[in-house]
A and B are shown apart, each in its own frame.
Chain A
Amino acid sequence: MAKTITNYFDELRDTRVWRSVFRSGTGSSTLHRALAIQQNVFLHLFSTKVRTRMLSFSATWYLGTLTFGTFLILVATGIPLMFYYHPSVPQAYADTKDLQFVVSSGLFLRNLHRWSAHAMVFLVFAHMFKVFYRGAYRSPREFNWVIGVILLLITLLLSYTGYLLPWDQLAFWAITVGSNIASAVPVMGNKIHFLMLGGNMVNANALLRFYVLHCMILPLVAILLVAVHFWRIRKDGGLYAQQSEPTTVAAGALPAAAKGVQ
């Protein structure tokens, strides 16, 4: 039974339509498997070959992948939420309540969005600590660490901007407090505060600005930097493989780096 399914799949992969979409062709040779990665626009960011040891759970705890997973959930749940949410002062709170009590599956989508947001913040920090304590941030991966730090800040900003959107008391005072922290910047603090809120207080302009940041600008920047982050894994010699002895770590890191540069 299993064999016939495999045969059907092989036949499908040999059809002209399939071959026009997937250029790597049929076959399971090392070359074909490498081409399947290399010739896919999404997968070509990654290495075509990975040491199985690096794919073990203990190597990374899959924290980066899990973070990306929560990001995908946030995009998939956030877009449907946008169909029912108006970023305006009279409607924002009522729309949030409608999503909870009136819209079919609205409660599920909103809760999934919220819990995934919390999970993403937690996982980003966990990922950062794992990378830090394994020493995976060191040369030649310093730049990818820097991108990771920017992605951490973008994650926090996404959380912060999303926090205002329900337009309840918690949101209003949290953003009031948070934006007043920005006023503490020397010299230009009040200007930053004014630009951030589009006014002197948390009001309609602030709601719209945070909405645009939350749904457009920050996700786009995040997607861009995530792509660079993934691509740099390959360019920096693949996932960091750690030996138990610190001395062999330094020795082992160099060939991996050289290999990635090829």
Chain B
Amino acid sequence: MSEEKKVTPAETGKEFDRRAFFVKLGLGSLGIAAAGTAAFSYQFLSPNVLYEPSPVVNAGKPENYAVDSVTLDVNSGIYLVHAQEGFFALSAVCTHLGCLTAWKPELGEHGIIACPCHGSKFYVRDPGKTPGEKIEGPAPRPLPWLQTSLSDEGDLMVDRSKQIDPMKFLRV
């Protein structure tokens, strides 16, 4: 009896193969459709065209910036600094959680950059310190240096999408 019973499921198993095949086919098609839907949804939800401001900012003539000045442009979120060695641009967006930092010339001996959200502080003009380097606070990275260049008209241009190594000054 037990042997017969062992045989029967094997036979019916062959009998069920077609059903199992169609079940797998159906589930497989549903799986492919689901994966396609996921890919479709992801692509649909990712905008292909962004109506965001250009990353390249025109900061105007270099003569407008006095030596040793730190100028914050609130709208573009950059500091334009005219140091003794030349010009450089720092991102004003805090590396912690993206708040706009502020230039505080009255704090510290040489003035610092401070974030109002969670209290990160950064060097700008302190001798021996890399501008953008963190003094204290939760910011994980220093404020990045942004690529600066001169346009054909002689305007200072800052590209916010391109970060450069620190201490690379633009001499005008």
Contacts and interface: CB of A to CB of B under 8 A. Distances in A.
Given A173-B117, A177-B117, A205 B98 contact: no
B50 A199 contact: yes
Nearest to A177: B97
A176 B46 contact: no
Contacts of A176: 97-99
B52 A199 contact: yes
Contacts of A204: 51
Which 9 residue pairs spanning A and B have beta carbons closest together? A177-B97, A180-B98, A180-B97, A176-B98, A199-B50, A195-B45, A198-B47, A199-B52, A173-B99
A203 B51 CA distance: 9
Interface of A: 173, 176-177, 179-181, 194-195, 198-201, 203-205
A41 to B, nearest CB: 32
Interface in B84-107: 96-100
Nearest to A203: B52
Interface of B: 42, 45-47, 50-52, 96-100, 117
Given A173-B117, A177-B117, A195-B45, A200 B98 contact: no
A177 B97 CA distance: 5
B52 A177 contact: no
A205 B99 contact: no
A201 B50 CA distance: 10
Nearest to B47: A198
B52 A181 contact: no
B97 A200 contact: no
Nearest to A173: B99
Contacts of A177: 97-99, 117
Contact of B52 (A173, A180, A201): A201
A199 B97 contact: no
A68 B97 CA distance: 34
A179 B46 CA distance: 16
Contacts of B96: 180
A199 B98 contact: no
A12 to B, nearest CB: 51
Contacts of B99: 173, 176-177
A190 to B, nearest CB: 12
B73 to A, nearest CB: 16
A173 B52 CA distance: 17
A203 B49 CA distance: 13
A6 B23 CA distance: 61
A200 B117 contact: no
